Amino acid sequence: MEKRRCAACRKLFHPRPQSPEQKFCSASECQRERKRRWQRARRATDPDYRDNDVQANRQWRSRHPGYWRAYRCRHPELVIRNRDKQRERDRARRLKAPQPPPTSHLANEDASTLSFFLETGTYRMIPVTGEDLANEDACLVKIALVSGG
Ligand SMILES: [Zn+2]
């Protein structure tokens, strides 16, 4: 059988005889990508699948409170990347339809918002560890005012 180029890694592979339409090689990363694309397409076209997905995600989050908050604390670079990409999507949406963006456009309902006001200035972030943490998932820092605006 002829070789084909994988839709994910772009390497050549032999399609399995059982699946002549195979577009992804058998590497696990490529199979995960295949599943991701299938799910994305399914969510976009099947309202029942999307509703079920939303419901399952909501239940998972309620069984794992604080997971995403802790995840964002562990991966600040991903928080920045996600925010930049969301800004890009917001900008593209504004260009497409010139109207004000919705007030809430966060993909994750668990996203925290600052409910207090901080003066403009330079702050030193000091990690706090130990038994004073009520929730081990929490990312707690002490903010000390170094200079005012
Ligand atoms: Zn591949």
If you count them, how many residues does the chain have? Answer: 149
Question: 9-36 pLDDT, tens per residue?
Answer: 999 999 999 998 999 999 999 999 999 9
Give per-residue pLDDT as tens, 83-118. 999 999 999 998 887 655 555 555 555 555 554 556
Domain that holds residue 23: 1-63
Ligand 1 centroid to 29 CA: how many Å? Answer: 7
- Residue 18 forms part of a structural domain: yes
Residue 53 lies in a domain: yes
Count of alpha carbons within 13 angstroms of residue 137, beta-carbon side: 9
Count how many domains the chain has.
1
Torsion 128-130-133-136 (CA) sign? positive
CA of 74 to the centre of ligand 1 (A): 30
Q: How far is the CA of 38 from the centre of ligand 1 (A)?
A: 15
- Whole-prediction pTM: 0.49
116 lies in a domain?
no
Q: State whether the Cα torsion 39-76-109-68 is positive or negative.
A: positive
109 inside domain: no
